């Protein structure tokens, strides 16, 4: 069974997710970082290697993926990388 199909995966909902359906969840498995829409838990999931996820977060912290005209830092949206083991 692939990691993305396991029922025992611990999904974490983003604190930036609102009550308007903009809900993103992330799960850390030994083999990958998984991302899904929490409104569709059985729907498609994205899978990233740890190095891909780290590179994405670094770019997001630098603002490389900000929407045009959106100043997320002024709105209090900050991205942080948890300092924990990948086990």
| Mean local confidence (pLDDT), 75-80 | 53
Q: What are phi and psi of 33, to 5 degrees?
A: -110, 125
Contact present, 7 and 23 (Cβ < 8 Å): no
Is residue 85 included in any domain, yes or no? no
Cα atoms in the 13 Å half-sphere on the side-chain side of 80: 8
Looking at residue 19, what is its pLDDT?
A: 72
* 6-10, 19-23, 83-87, range with greatest mean pLDDT: 6-10
pLDDT value at 1 more than 60: no
Mean pLDDT across the chain? 78
Is residue 15 included in any domain, yes or no? yes
What is the extent of the structural domain holding 39?
Answer: 3-48
Same domain, 39 and 72: no
Q: What is the pLDDT of residues 36-76, one digit of tens each?
A: 998 898 999 999 999 999 999 999 898 888 887 766 555 55
Is residue 75 included in any domain, yes or no? yes
Calpha distance 79→16 (Å, rounded): 9
Count structural domains, the chain: 2
């Amino acid at each position: 069974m692939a990691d993305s199909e396991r029922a025992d995966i611990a999904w974490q909902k983003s604190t930036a997710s609102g009550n308007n359906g903009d809900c993103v969840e992330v799960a850390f498995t030994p083999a990958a970082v998984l991302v899904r829409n929490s409104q569709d838990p059985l729907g498609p999931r994205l899978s990233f290697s740890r190095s891909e996820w780290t590179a994405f977060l670094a770019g997001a912290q630098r603002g490389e993926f900000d929407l045009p005209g959106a100043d997320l830092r002024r709105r209090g949206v900050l991205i942080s990388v948890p300092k924990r083991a990948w086990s």
